[in-house]
Structure 1
Amino acid sequence: MGTQTGIQGPLDAVPGKQGEQICTECERLEAARRRAEAERDYSRVTDCNVLIARHRIVHSTRA
């Protein structure tokens, strides 16, 4: 999944196996990042990326 602004990286992929539901916090953070990108608020995009990365640690510890 790429972004319209060209900001891409390892955070573009949503964690989880195929068919696995995505947690509501992941969805909320991804939506916030998309809003920030649409508003061209790249500082907030970076903040969201950091929050997403921190939150995904939760997913990796559950495995």
Structure 2
Amino acid sequence: MIRFALTLVFFGVLSLVVGSLVSGDDYFDWGVTGGLFALAVAGECARFWLKRSRAKKRQSSGI
């Protein structure tokens, strides 16, 4: 769970930096920042779900 939180913090900061670089002088581009962070969250959730489903398949029924 710590890896999950650290990854989201890293991608959150990265998306904020990219959003500020893309925005230029006018305003902060929240659309780009939010979109990048949403992709990071979706990727991490998919990774967590795949890892969990693989672990369930390995469980034995144990008679």
Instruction: Point out the structure with max Rg over C-alpha.
Output: 2
| TM-score normalised by structure 2 residue count | 0.42
| TM-score normalised by structure 1 residue count | 0.42
- More helix by percentage: 2
